[in-house]
Amino acid sequence: MKKWYLFLVSILLSAGILAGCGNDTAEPKKDGEEKVEESTETSAFPVTLTDAADQEVVIEEEPEAIVSLIPSNTEIAFELGLGEKVVGVSDFDNYPEEVADIEKIGGQEFNVEAIIALNPDVVLAHNSGAHNSTEGLDQLRDAGIPVLIVNDAQNFKEVYDSIEMIGKATGATEEASQTVEGMKTRLAEIEEKAKSVEEKKSVFVEISAAPSLYTAGQKTFIDDMLNLIQAENVIEEEGWPQIDEEAVIEKNPDVIITTYGYYTENAVETLLSREGWQDVTAVKEKQVYDVHSDKVTRTGPRLVEGVEELAKAIYPEVFK
């Protein structure tokens, strides 16, 4: 039950559902409008950046100790080769496996005293939760710790912005550029393969099981991924709506994707045996698959792996 709770909260955090409407001292910019400014043309320090909350952040020296308040920031830091510098992570962090040995600093409500005790050179916060954490973030700033609020990315371009911002803040500019280019290349290869799809399949993505069915609607990363591989999302609502079983049965998707098998045993088998779903095309033809939740919701480098998992599940004949 605890694992399922942590999973659901992390999904909602990734989607921004739990991001409240607090009163920041500065009006946050819309995601994707963040400006990044450096004091020089290279990653030499000091570096000055304008973060996602329109705060000017000055980092005097290349950070040797980093605290991350959200799993996506942590995954980006590790991808950029900064893992040995990460001294604190959130309770929700689970990748890479090295994070298990890093000090936990709390969840939505992080422990300010614990963070200060770690003496970080920079804290990587996130715009999805910054509005609810204004007081704690200000306490960190008052303690002389630079706080960088990373944008709450809503598409791949904004993920690239997140990676580049963290790279510039930590002296890993070149690594960030390489990571972004690698992601773009892999996505272009997937998109090229998808052009050979002759008949689009309709897809229902289930992010939590019955009786409280939640799904991925329009304007979500999952919807973008489906579009990229020439699949059709049967959900017309935006965001992450709750949906009745009868509505799914009526939509009769060709394929059903679950995203909670990492946390729930026999996710696919349970859905295939769900009462009343036996005439749904996906169930009847056993076109029900599970993909790793973090890879399709966590806004970091592994999103490309999520696209690949979806593609192989929906169009195995194309993406072998």
**1-22 pLDDT per residue, tens:** 444 444 454 555 444 433 333 3
| Distance between CA atoms of residues 239 and 260, nearest Å | 18
Going by pLDDT thresholds of 50, 70 and 90, the confidence category of residue 129 is: confident
Pairing of strands 47-50, 232-233: unpaired
Can you say how many angstroms the Cα of residue 88 is from the centroid of all Cα atoms in its chain? 19
Going by pLDDT thresholds of 50, 70 and 90, the confidence category of residue 132 is: confident
CB 26 within 8 Å of CB 39: no
CB 214 within 8 Å of CB 208: yes
Dihedral in degrees, nearest 10, Cα atoms 151, 154, 155, 159:
20
| Distance between CA atoms of residues 40 and 275, nearest Å | 63
Dihedral in degrees, nearest 10, Cα atoms 233, 236, 237, 243:
-70
**48 to each of 31, 36, 134, 172, 280, how far by Cα in Å?**
19, 8, 21, 15, 55
Give the pLDDT confidence score for residue 11 in this predicted structure. 52
| Distance between CA atoms of residues 207 and 293, nearest Å | 8
- Tell me the pLDDT tens digit for each residue of 196-247: 999 999 999 999 988 889 999 999 999 999 999 999 999 999 999 999 999 9
CB 113 within 8 Å of CB 143: no
| Distance between CA atoms of residues 261 and 258, nearest Å | 7
Closest CA to 306 of 151, 145, 184, 187: 187
DSSP 122: E
CB 101 within 8 Å of CB 78: no
| Distance between CA atoms of residues 71 and 96, nearest Å | 10
Dihedral in degrees, nearest 10, Cα atoms 56, 37, 30, 237:
-130
| Distance between CA atoms of residues 298 and 143, nearest Å | 30
| Distance between CA atoms of residues 183 and 162, nearest Å | 13
Three-class SS state of 204: strand
CB atoms within 10 A of CB 127: 24
Whole-number percent of the chain with pLDDT over 90 = 81
Q: Classify residue 56 as exposed, middle or buried by CB count within 10 Å of its CB (0-12, 13-18, 19+).
A: exposed
Question: ∠ CA 8-102-44 to the nearest 5 degrees?
Answer: 105
In the chain the beta strands, taken as DSSP E runs, fall at: 47-50, 56-59, 66-68, 86-89, 103-104, 122-126, 147-150, 202-208, 214-215, 232-233, 255-258, 288-290
**In this structure, what token pair is assigned to residue 125?**
């916060």
- Tell me the pLDDT tens digit for each residue of 136-147: 999 999 999 999
Q: Check residues 303 and 35 and name the one with the higher pLDDT.
A: 303
| Distance between CA atoms of residues 20 and 22, nearest Å | 6
- Average pLDDT, whole number, for the chain? 89
Closest CA to 163 of 137, 188, 141, 181: 181
Beta partners for 204? 256
Q: Can the peptide bond before residue 71 be classed as cis, meaning omega within 30 degrees of 0?
A: no
